[in-house]
Amino acid sequence: MVRDIEDATDAPPKHRVSKSPALSFPLNYLRIVYEFAVTVVCLPFHFLYFAVLPKKRWRRSWTLLEAALMPAVRRIMGAFDRCGFKVSGRNTFAEPNATWLKLRYGARFEWVEPLEQGLMSGVVRDSMTERTRVGLFSWSRQAGGGQLSRQDGDLVGVHLHGGAYTHNSAHPKSSSSAIPKKLFQKCARFSTMYMPEYRLLPDYPFSAALQDAAAAYVALVRRGVPGHKIVLIGDSSGGHLALALTRWIRDTIASEEGHSGEKAKRLEHPAGLVLFSPWADPSHSFLSHTADDYIPRTNDCDYLFEVGKFRLHLVSSLLGSHPDEFVESPYMSPGRAGQPQGIFSGHPPCFVHYGTGERCQAEGERLVENLRRDGVRVEEVVTVDTPHDPLLLEMVWNKKQIGRIWDGALNFLQTL
Ligand SMILES: *[C@@H]1O[C@H](CO)[C@@H](O)[C@H](O)[C@H]1NC(C)=O
């Protein structure tokens, strides 16, 4: 559903959305050409500069390649946001060519039913968000597809991609699909890896993404995959979504148990969560700040785009029809300081990775703190000076650090 932002009447608009600060046509095209040109010109300069003056690297531990590429990655990522272009995106309602998908990527695609009416409870209920069927990509080891064998230790992965709820896609061609692909290859315990194509900003706020992720989870449970065999995996905003989905599952089970014991059997908690650089605190600087006095998150060596008016616009579009205060809820900001005790009670074990060179470091630390305080088993891997979501930079990043992240996740998966 497309929101009508021109419709300014006395009645508050349901999905209030501030005007996007991104450049519009044709300035956005001119700007992106300009940014690419500057990047190409600067790249050799940065190689030379950081080779001659290693002390000037944004982090002293970075290799020359890492140091020289980071300004380029940052400029390009920022350019996409400034110009309002999506990176690696696709129409979430389009059906991909199944033959090509199989031939080129060895993957499958199917539609799953919209989240059933009876489960439209809690935060997924949103009068502005229509229920839709959800596209589900998958890799499977079995010829038959989604059927889970009786064999012990078979896990099913559900990967929720990152990209600030704006960029990327669940399609295997998307750069963010490198993560579920690698994890599926590396961990033989996964019989199948699913990737739900959830709806994105700016047209579809948080409730839509959560509703779609929930629809995919429920579809798997309905076809006989037990919840305790499902591992939710998410990087960046996908980690945020995985945490919200786990919370929704917990709250839905709790509310159904209150009504009838029969219905409660319909849902089951997942086995565990694997979170890479999770975005755990969208409330940062949101309520008390305007774009002019926005307090950037720490680690300005990171490539993540951190400009006040863009961040505030992103979070307010994510909130959609929810009131501003909803940003403080554990659904929105589980890694917020001062979250009350017990918000994670009943949560499955979690693997959490973050780096000390990324914007999401502080919220990763607090997320782990909040989880542990509530008695959740957490396996934590912290890598020194790595930027946000380094698994997406696997080609160029320090092999040892990348290896530590994978090993941490694999060891964790063995304990489930
Ligand atoms: C799907 O892809 C295959 C292989 O590339 C191609 O031969 C076929 O025409 C495509 N089908 C459609 C409907 O586009």
pLDDT of residue 180: 98
Contacts of 50 (CB under 8 A, 6+ apart): 56, 57, 64, 67, 68
Closest CA to 246 of 219, 267, 225: 267
Measured from the CB, is residue 94 less than 6 Å from ligand 1?
Answer: no
pLDDT digit string (tens) for 162-188?
Answer: 999 999 999 999 999 999 999 999 999
Compute, in angstroms, the gap from residue 189 CA to the centroid of ligand 1.
Answer: 33
* Higher per-residue pLDDT: 257 or 368: 368
Pairing of strands 134-140, 108-112: antiparallel
What the block records as the tokens of 14 is 């349901």
**Pick from 212, 249, 217: which is nearest to 347 by CA?**
249
Helices (H) and strands (E) in the chain, counts: 10, 8
Our mutation pick for probing the ligand 1 site, out of 95, 100, 102, 104, counting the most ligand atoms within 8 A of Cβ, is: 100
Task: Return the pLDDT at 10.
Answer: 45
List of residues 6+ apart from 369 with CB closer than 8 A:
none
How many A from CA of 96 to the centre of ligand 1? 10
Ligand 1 contact via 97 beta carbon (within 6 Å): yes
Cβ–Cβ contacts within 10 Å for residue 384, how many? 12
Please indicate whether residue 414, judged by its CB atom, sits closer than 6 Å to ligand 1: no
Nearest CA to ligand 1 atom 5: 100
Residue 18: pLDDT band by 50, 70, 90 thresholds?
A: confident
Of the candidates 260, 246, 252, 238, the residue with the CA atom closest to the CA atom of residue 120: 252
By most ligand atoms within 8 Å of CB, the mutation choice from 95, 97, 104 for ligand 1 is 97
For ligand 1, atom 14, the nearest C-alpha belongs to: 97
The two beta strands, 230-235 and 155-160, are parallel
Give the whole-angstrom CA distance, residue 400 versus residue 280. 26
Q: Which residues contact 83 (CB under 8 A, 6 or more apart)?
A: 22, 23, 28, 29, 31, 32, 35
Segment 229-246 shows an average pLDDT of 98
Distance in Å, CA 108 to ligand 1 centroid: 15
Nearest ligand 1 atom to the CA of 97 is: 1
Pairing of strands 134-140, 190-197: antiparallel
Position in ligand 1 atom list of the atom nearest CA 98: 1
Query: Ligand 1 centroid to 111 CA: how many Å?
Result: 19
Rounded to the nearest angstrom, the distance between the alpha carbon of 99 and the centre of ligand 1 is 6
Do 334 and 367 meet the contact criterion of CB atoms below 8 Å apart?
yes
Quote the pLDDT of residue 9: 40
Alpha carbons 12 and 19: distance in angstroms, whole number: 15
For position 142, what pLDDT does the model report? 67
Asked whether 102 lines ligand 1 (CB < 6 A), one says no
- Cβ of 100 closer than 6 Å to ligand 1, yes or no, is yes
| Distance of CA 100 from the midpoint of ligand 1 (Å) | 6
Of residues 192, 156, 175, the one with CA closest to residue 274: 156
For the segment 48-75, the average pLDDT, to the nearest whole number, is: 97
Q: Comparing C-alpha atoms, which of 370, 286, 268, 362 is closest to residue 322?
A: 286
Tell me the C-alpha distance between 391 and 305, whole Å.
18
Protein residue with its CA nearest to atom 2 in ligand 1: 100
Measure 172 CA to ligand 1 centroid, in angstroms.
17
Could you give all domains of the chain from N- to C-terminal order, each with its CATH number?
A: 27-83 (no CATH), 98-414 (3.40.50.1820)
Which pLDDT value is given to residue 13? 42
Answer for the pair 239, 393: CB distance below 8 angstroms, yes or no.
Answer: no
What does the block give as tokens for 391?
A: 């698994």
Report the percentage of the chain scoring pLDDT > 90: 84
pLDDT band at 255 (very low <50, low <70, confident <90, very high): confident
Distance (Å, whole) CA 399 – CA 20: 38
The pLDDT score that the predictor gives to residue 144 is 47
Interatomic CA distance for residues 191 and 208, integer angstroms: 28
Does residue 99's CB lie within 6 angstroms of at least one atom of ligand 1?
Answer: yes
Q: How far, in Å, are 17, 71, 208, 343, 400 from residue 181 at the CA level? A: 35, 27, 25, 32, 20
User: How far is 235 from 2, CA to CA, in rounded Å?
Assistant: 27
| pTM listed for this prediction | 0.93
Q: Is the pLDDT of residue 311 over 90?
A: yes
Query: What is the per-residue pLDDT for 8?
Result: 37
Of 346, 321, 285, the closest CA to residue 208 belongs to 321
pLDDT, mean of residues 198-227:
95
If you average pLDDT over residues 355-372, what whole number do you get?
Answer: 98
- Ligand 1 atom 12: residue of nearest CA: 97
What mean pLDDT, rounded, does the chain reach?
Answer: 91
Q: State how far the alpha carbon of 51 is from the alpha carbons of 44, 48, 58, 401, in Å.
A: 11, 5, 13, 22
